[in-house]
Amino acid sequence: MRRTTRALFRHRFRRRAFTLVEVLVATVLLGIGVAACMACIGTATRASALGEEYTAVGLMAREKLAEIELQGARPGADQGDFGSDRPGYAWKTAAQPSGTPGLEQVTLTILWGSEANPRQAEFRTLVREQRR
């Protein structure tokens, strides 16, 4: 009876470690998970940078449109940049009659990015005609 108890004890507790196959499968799954997390972090970083760019462009457009509204729309086209505070960003405006007396339609285009990857955003509004 004593021998049977030892054999049962040995059989029950003999397998305490993982097999090589189990370790390899766990390592592969961990590697796939880490790679997927790195891809997600990279995508989130790019999306955050792009969102920051578009937020800055929106704020610059609000600033320029407020300036146009205060000074009135200049007839025709105009262009410039945002100065040394915001290098790499430029603007273009085009004013044309809106069909409503006393108002002109102004199109503001903000330009930024490299020559290889130029970007632009266009904004339109109605402003009072500039007094001549």
CATH number assigned to the domain covering 18-128: 3.30.1300.30
Could you tell me the two tokens for 31? 């590697």
Question: pTM of the predicted model, to two decimals?
Answer: 0.67
% of the chain exceeding 70 in pLDDT: 86
Locate the domains of the chain by residue range. Answer: 18-128
Residues with Cβ < 8 Å from 60, sequence gap 6 or more? 82, 86, 89, 91, 110
pLDDT of 5 above 90: no
Residues 6+ apart with CB under 8 A from 81: 89, 90, 91
Check whether 86 has a pLDDT greater than 90.
no
| 3-class DSSP assignment, residue 121 | strand
Q: Region 73-92: what's the mean pLDDT?
A: 87
What pLDDT, on the 0 to 100 scale, is given for residue 62? 94
Report how far residue 71's alpha carbon sits from residue 65's, in angstroms, rounded to the nearest whole number.
10
